[in-house]
Structure formats: C-alpha cells, structure tokens
Amino acid sequence: MAVLRHNDSTHAKMQDVITTGMRISEAADNAAYWSIATDMRNTTKATSTVIDALELGAALVDVSYQGMEDLISITSEIKTKIMAMKEPGVDRYKVSSEIYELEKQFLSTTQSSSFNGRNLLAPGDLHYTEKSYVDGNGKTLNYIEMSPPDTNVAFGGIVASYTKGKVGIINIYGDSNLNVFGPASYKNADGSTSAQNGLADTPQADGMTGGVPHPDPAKITAWLPAFNGRTQIGMGTDDMFSASHMGEVPDDLVETATDLLLKRYDDIHSTLTDRAATLGSLSMRIDMQTDFNRTLTSTIQKGIGRLVDADMNDASTKLKAVQAQVQLAVQALNIANNAPSLLMQLFR
C-alpha cells in the first residue's frame, strides 16, 4: 500500500508536469529557481511595457518626419515660384497668390503632423487668420495673421514655439532653439504694434535698418508691413517681407527682393533638412532600442525556460514508467488480496 501511494503521488506530479510543461511551477518544487523565474517574469513584463512605449514613440517620430519631408517639399516649391518671378512678363500677383497658398499649406502641415494628440513640430494650436489688403496698384494681396494659443502657456517644438506672456504673434523662425520662421511684428495688449529686432521706424526695401528706401512709402508700407500687425510666413527675424507680397514689388527691386527671399528660403530649407536628419537619427535610435528590448525579452524567457521548463520527452518517458509501476502495484495488491482465498481452496 505504501508503494502504491508513492506511485500515485509520483504519477500525479508527472501528469502535472506534462500538463503545464513546467517542472517547477510553485515554490515548493524549488524555492530558489521559482524565485528567480518569478523575478525574471516581472522583468519581461516591464520590458514589454517599454517596447510598447517605444513603438508609440516610433510612430510619433515617423509622422513628424513625414511632416518635415512635406515642409521641405513645400519650401522647395516656394523657391521655384520665387525664381519664376525673375522672368520678364511673369504676372507676379498670380505667382504671389500661389505662394500664399503654399504658405497656408506649410502651416496646415505643421499643425496636422500629430500622432495620438502629440505634435513634435508644433506642440500647441497654431491660430492664424487669412486676411487681405489692397495695394497701391489696386490689387488684392492675401496674408496670414497669427495669434497666441487659446491657453496662455509656453510650448516649444521643432518648427513652432510660443513664449508664455507674449501677446499676439507666435514666434515661428529659424534659430538654435529648433524654430524655423518669424513674425513681422508683435501686437501689444493695448492694440498697438511693435517692431521686432530693432527694425527701422521707416520701412526699408529689405526690411532692415540701412536698407534702400522706396520712393513711394505707402507702397513700401504695404509691401513690408513691419508695423501693422501682419505676420509674414516664411521669413527670418531680420528681413520682414513675405514672398506672398511680391506681386507689388516694383520692377527695379524685383532682383534684389527675389535674391533676398531665396537666401531666406535657402536657410529655411537647410534648417528643415537638419531637423529632418535629427528625426531620422532618432527614428533609427528608437528602432535599435526596440530591437534590443525584444532580444532581451527573448533571452530572459529562454533563461526562465532553462530553470523551470520541463523536458517533455523525459517527462513523457517518466510518466509512462510511473504508470507501469502503478499498474504493477495494483496487480500485486490484487494478488495479495486473493492469496487467502487460494489457500482456503487448498484445504477444501
């Protein structure tokens, strides 16, 4: 009976090993190995969470990179339009209208390059209003006026940033803080406007102090609206006229204006390219880290398996041997139970 009870216990244990595939499924089996395996399983769960976070980060970077590629493409298209303005007989008003649409697309792309509610290019709403005015030639020119976010908070991104406390225009310019563009002026709380970066009180042909003044100040005021609250999209912080105003540039200043704009857009294009390269490097880094964590998880799982997993071939063989032992013990018990009756038959 003792042998039979032992065999039954061994049979139950081997059956459990075959069912679970684990030779150590609880602390009673081997406290040291079970403890190590439990800790390592917790590590793999944490690593799995890290992988999920990296996947989300990779998706965000991929969306941002695609947005940057589109911005680079838009900038290149604007440069092509500016070059076209140098050609004799080109209707600069029509080309300016096309550039204006490209500038709007630039802002739209910047704002829509988000994933899961996050935007690396401009982490905040870019509020802008499409406006227009009539120049000295009686032509209507469109421009974009920007305003602060709904909430007066600071945010910074690869393309756009907003400084808390500034009233009016969002900074969008190229500098070491990963910004790309800049406004022509700020709107003050009292409704007045102030120039940026010490622009001359009198508008200049190139938007800077010491520039070449145009003989018609009224036209220049419209052409270079540095003090009327208009924001020129696609400009640096020194030269404050937009390519979308090129329609009214006097013929004798077209060459100078287009060269200046091309230089600015070359700088913008270079800045965007650098930022796109940064995003590409970041994407590669995330992929490498994700692959490492996947490899780490797989390695840890293999290590856990070596500690607690059962050798199924060996366990199956042992189970069959134990089943044979149980059957033999049962047969032996039957013989022992039947032996007295056999002896009684001999005395009859």
Q: 277 pLDDT exceeds 70?
A: yes
- Domain count of the chain? 2
pLDDT band, residue 295 (cuts 50/70/90) = very high
Answering whether pTM is above 0.75, one says no
Same domain as 263, residue 115: yes
In a domain, 304, yes or no: no
Contacts of 173 (CB under 8 A, 6+ apart): 179, 180, 181, 182, 183, 235, 236, 237
Are 87 and 235 within one domain? yes
Q: How confident is the model at residue 124 (pLDDT cuts 50, 70, 90)?
A: low
**Are 12 and 76 in the same domain?**
no
239 and 104 inside one domain: yes
Q: Are residues 91 and 56 in the same domain?
A: yes
| Residue whose entry in the numeric block shows the structure tokens 């793999």 | 44
The reply to whether 302 falls in a domain is: no
**Any idea what the CATH number is for the domain that residue 248 is in?**
1.20.1330
For residue range 250-265, what is the model confidence (pLDDT) as tens digits?
Answer: 566 667 777 777 877 8
Residue 56 has a CB neighbour count (10 Å cut-off) of 14
Do 57 and 2 share a structural domain?
Answer: no
What range defines the domain where residue 322 resides? 1-21+312-348
Distance CA 227, CA 201 (A): 8
Q: Do residues 84 and 188 both lie within one domain? A: yes
Side-chain-side CA neighbours of 290 within 13 Å: the count stands at 15
Residues 212 and 80 in one domain: yes
Instruction: For residues 5 and 102, state if they share a domain.
Output: no
Tens digits of residue pLDDT in 35-57: 888 888 898 988 988 899 889 88
